[in-house]
Amino acid sequence: MKPLEIFAVIALIGMGAWIALRLRRWFAAITLRRRFAIGAQAEKDAVPLLERHGYTILDEQATAQSIFWVDGVETACTVRADLLAEKDGQQFVVEVKSGDSAPDPKYSATRRQLLEYEHVFRRDGMLLADMRGGTLKRVTFGLQGTQPRGQSSLVTWILMLFAATAGLFLGHAL
């Protein structure tokens, strides 16, 4: 091969790599725009789903401030949830999902997101709106007093029984 032919081959390989990189970025941008559009539409579709189940929408794109410390330095960030809804005097943070695995509360990214919402928003619970299935799932982690009402732990009942029994013995002994 002549030097000019070698240079042409190298230039063509470089151009091919550059074109491939540009195409990859272009397809990634299209995919990202498509996912955002699907997510935005899912959030709009979640409002009538919630209303059909008796919820009232309190806020869309609700935000709350979270404070935490990094190496002893106070740090703040804003946490945004898709919706805030209310039903029967209880308020819920609503996370809308439209993908294949994200609507599952056992999916790690979704679970962590809901856990952050429970910690930051401190509402009565979270609702996970599965827009592919058209369902709502109530999710609580039991933090901040968000254990569903009417569901006391076994330990609480045992302690109350123990206290009542101790009171009876003490009263009988006196």
Write out pLDDT tens, residues 7-37: 888 888 889 889 888 989 988 888 788 777 7
Question: Which has more confidence, 1 or 117?
Answer: 117
Position 133 scores a pLDDT of 84
> Residue 160 pLDDT more than 60?
yes
Q: Strand ranges (DSSP E) for the chain?
A: 56-70, 73-87, 90-97, 125-130, 135-139
Each residue's pLDDT tens digit, 120-133 = 888 888 899 988 88
**Phi and psi based region of residue 164 (left: phi greater than 0; alpha: psi -120 to 50; beta: remaining):** alpha
From CA 99, how far away is CA 132, in angstroms rounded?
Answer: 7
> For 48-75, how does the pLDDT look when each residue is reduced to its tens digit (9 = 90+)?
999 999 999 999 988 989 888 999 999 9
How high is the pLDDT of residue 153?
58
Beta bridge partners of 119: none
CA angle 45, 141, 108 (to 5 degrees): 65
pLDDT of 159 strictly over 60:
yes
Query: What is the tally of structural domains in the chain?
Result: 1
Task: For tokens 């509402």, name the residue.
Answer: 123
The domain of 150 spans: 3-173
Contact indicator for 94, 81 with CB cutoff of 8 Å: yes
Q: What is the CATH number of the domain that holds 125?
A: 3.90.320
Residue 7, token pair as written in the block: 């240079």
